[in-house]
Amino acid sequence: MPIIRTSRTAACSIVIAVGFASAAWGFSIEPGLWKTTTTMTSPMMPEGKTETRTKCVTKEDAEGDFLATLSDKDSPCKVSERKESGDTLEFAMECPNQMGAAKAQGSFTSKGDSGSGRMDMTMSIQGKTMKFSQTFEATRVGPCE
């Protein structure tokens, strides 16, 4: 179970970073309380695991490089590639952890008060390789509390 828990932690770090990354790359994103629903699937979890989280995106977050700020403070993940095209951000990330490392590629499309994306991740933990896929939907649900 520690491997799966570590995998989920790394995966959640990436999703949270990506889910609110749009502000940094010229997409329209509104400050406020955002709800992100993530569904992760893998060969070990074919039925999938869905989690919903909320986060307050401040005006400063929406105007700044929120992805870099989040990655520096809360996540070991580092962005290795970024490409913006219209309202879509494509990315690649690397996330070291105590038991191995993860690499991810994906995209996030923002519509100002909502967004969606997909990410595929490969993790190496204790000499074993695991693959995960994630989809996520983010919606602004109102002002921050």
Mean of the per-residue pLDDT values of the chain: 76
- Which is it for the CA torsion 115, 60, 82, 136, positive or negative? negative
Residue 2 has pLDDT above 60, yes or no: no
Stretch 104-131: mean pLDDT, rounded?
88
Which strand ranges, in their side-by-side order, compose the sheet holding 88-97? 45-57, 32-42, 128-142, 114-125, 100-110, 88-97, 78-85
- Output the pLDDT for position 12: 46
Question: CA–CA separation, 43 vs 23, rounded Å?
Answer: 33
pLDDT band at 46 (very low <50, low <70, confident <90, very high): confident
The closest of 60, 48, 54 to 19, measured between CA atoms, is 54
Q: What is the DSSP letter of 24?
A: G
Q: Is the pLDDT of residue 41 over 70?
A: yes
- Place 74 in a pLDDT band, splitting at 50, 70 and 90: low
Task: Evaluate if residue 28 carries a pLDDT over 90.
Answer: no
